[in-house]
Amino acid sequence: MKLSHLLSQRKLTIFERWLDLIFSSYPPETTRFLKKEKDRFNNPVAYRLSQGARGLVDALVSGATVEEVSRYLDEIIRIKAVQDFSPSQALAFVFLLKKVIREELAPEIRADTGLAAEMLDLESQIDGLALLGFDVYVKRREKLYDIRVNEVKAKVSGLLRKAGINVTHI
C-alpha cells in the first residue's frame, strides 16, 4: 500500500491528533479553552489554527502548490507571531506533524519497507514546510515591527505638533 493512500485514509485522524498537539503548546487553561469553545467568533484563535492545520494536512496528501501551503502556514504562524512566540516555538508545530504521522502509521511502516522510504520523503517535505514557515514568520514579524514603528512616529509627531515644533519628516 502506498503512503499517499494511507495518508488519505487517515487524514482526519492525523489532523485531529496534530491539532490537539498544537493546542497543547499553550498553557493548560488556554488549551482547555481552545479545545472547548467551538464557535469561530468566540474562539478565533482555535478556528485559525484549525483551518491552517486542516489545510496543511490536505496539502500534504494532495501535493498542493507552494502558494497554497504558504497560505495555510500563514494561518497558524500569524497567530504565533502576534503572540510573541520565538521562532522555534512558533514553528515547533510543523515537526509535531512528523510525530503524529509516524505514530499513526507505525504498524504499516514496520511491515512494509517501501513505506519507510516514502516516509523519509514525506519527512523531507515536512522539513521544507518548516523552512517555508520560517520565511512566513519573519515576514509577519517585520509587518508587526513596521506597524509599531508607524504608531510611535504618529505619537511623536502629534506630541511635537502640540509643543509647537514644526515637523516635516519623521
pLDDT per position as a tens digit, 96-132: 999 999 999 988 888 887 888 888 888 999 999 999 9
Query: Average of pLDDT values for 68-76?
Result: 90
More confident residue, 168 or 37: 37
User: Is 118 inside any structural domain?
Assistant: yes
Amino acid (1-letter code) at residue 13:
T
What is the reported pLDDT for 51?
Answer: 92
Task: Give domain status of residue 162, yes or no.
Answer: no
Does any domain span residue 160?
A: no
Cell representation of residue 73: 502556514
Strands (E), 49-158: none
pLDDT for position 1: 56
Which residue, among 85, 94, 79, has the nearest Cα to 131 in the 3D structure? 94
Alpha helices in 83-112 (DSSP H): 87-111
pLDDT of residue 126: 92
Does 97 map to a domain? yes
DSSP annotation of 170:
-
Q: How many helices (H) and strands (E) does the chain have?
A: 6, 0
151 domain-assigned? no
8 lies in which domain range? 3-144
Residue 21: CA count within 13 A, CB half-sphere: 20
Kindly report the average pLDDT of the chain as a whole number: 87
pLDDT of residue 148: 77
In a domain, 163, yes or no: no
CB neighbour list of residue 77: distance below 8 Å, 6 or more residues apart: 52, 90, 91, 133, 136, 137, 140
Tell me if 153 is assigned to some domain. no
pLDDT bin (cut points 50, 70, 90) of residue 168 is low
Residue 20's SS3 state is: helix
Tell me the average pLDDT across 136-153: 81
Q: What does the pLDDT read at residue 100?
A: 95
Do 58 and 11 meet the contact criterion of CB atoms below 8 Å apart? yes
Q: How many domains does the chain have?
A: 1
| Cell numbers placing 109 | 511502516
Angle at CA of residue 13, ends 77 and 19, nearest 5°:
25
- Within a domain: 166: no
pLDDT tens column, 13-53: 999 999 999 999 888 998 899 898 888 898 899 999 999 99
